[in-house]
A and B are shown apart, each in its own frame.
Chain A
């Protein structure tokens, strides 16, 4: 187990240093969605490449598992070599995964423009480092966070619009702990958009733990759904602020077997309320989708427009 976590840390740190992306992948996948949008400016729409990254985490774990076990034993020692296993090999989202991620980000950009929000994009934007922080390597995270902050400041950025809870949380709550005189304003796209239509009529919301219990946004996406007439089925023990269950995603890279079990339980709970589930986080989407059978899972930005 310790070797396994160390292998993950080495893999992430190594790639962040080389590529400002946590996994071995071609960074061009992160910026395709932004083609045609204005570059830079005081306010930027920052994807942190989370929608493209989320499906790659499972693929990276699959590769690492081929050289080692996820817990204990002699094979775990082999996993310590995981960071080197990839060599020149690059992870790639499938065409469908890439198209979906690009579509979600383009829809967010369109909704922002229609709401009168002026923003630019940074085509070589760095990853936020959230995965490193969530794995528990705070010292590595702190030094990387200072680099990312410098990147934004050098480009004159004053305000960052986030699209996912993990990036939002680290920027708003964790960066200020480690970055001296941190002064970026952090807002979520959900606070700014004014959608006018929806692609579904009725659904159940799967909350992100970060949005619901850390960032106090439990009501924000529900209000957006209300504004376009989407009925969201609620049950205090399934979708209540205190009881809504986690998707298992945060331990996907540490114990994929346990993450899978957690997702199965969550899918079972949600399926009792509706056959359509709306997620507000790309990690939740990926983890629940793997466990979903017969359930339609959609991101909020695939539902509202």
Chain B
């Protein structure tokens, strides 16, 4: 999953269609920010309030996946990271 996340070119197309990013305009509340948060968690990194907030607020609506030029399974990465984060807590 980490190698898939690393395909992210940070183009930002996903942010244009993300409902939570458009609602609050904070990078950790949009897909490309969430992917980096997910990467940190999957890599065993330290959690913070922002990591939890980022992963817990994904709507899993999949709008981002349909516009991602790298075809990253963004929601799967976020859901997997969230599962690990909560299991750790």
Q: What residues make up the interface of A, taking CB atoms closer than 8 Å to B?
A: 1-2, 5-6, 71-72, 134, 136-139, 209, 213-214, 241-243, 245-246, 248, 250-251, 254-255, 258, 261-262, 264-266
User: B24 near A258 (CB under 8 angstroms)?
Assistant: yes
Specify which chain B residues have a CB less than 8 angstroms from the CB of A241 in the assembled complex. 66
B62 → chain A, closest Cβ, in Å? 4
Mark out the residues of chain B between 14 and 66 whose CB falls within 8 Å of any chain A CB in the assembled complex.
17, 19-20, 22-24, 29, 49, 52-53, 55-63, 66
Which residue on B lies nearest to A264, using beta carbons? B23
Closest 4 CB pairs of A and B: A261-B23, A246-B61, A209-B61, A242-B66
Q: Is the CB of A251 within 8 A of B83?
A: no
Interfacial chain B residues near A245, Cβ < 8 Å: 19, 61, 63
A6 contacts B59, CB within 8 Å?
A: no
B86: chain A residues within 8 A (beta carbon): 5, 136-137
Residues of B whose CB lies within 8 Å of any CB of A are: 17, 19-20, 22-24, 29, 49, 52-53, 55-63, 66-67, 79, 82-83, 86-87, 89
- The answer to whether B19 touches A2 (Cβ under 8 A) is no
Q: A139-B87, A265-B23 are in contact. Are A5 and B52 (CB under 8 A)?
A: yes
Partner of A209, one of B49, B62, B89: B62
For the complex, give the distance between the alpha carbons of A138 and B79 in Å.
10
Given contacts A72-B49, A136-B79, contact A243 B63 (CB under 8 A): yes
Of B29, B63, B66, the contact of A258 (CB 8 Å cutoff): B29
> Given that A6-B89, A137-B86 are known contacts, is A250 also in contact with B24, CB under 8 Å in the complex?
no
A254 x B61 contact (CB < 8 A): no
| New contact pairs (10) apart from A209-B60, A261-B23, CB-CB < 8 Å | A1-B52, A2-B49, A6-B89, A136-B56, A213-B62, A213-B66, A245-B63, A248-B20, A251-B57, A258-B20
Q: Quick check: B61 and A251 within 8 Å, CB to CB?
A: no
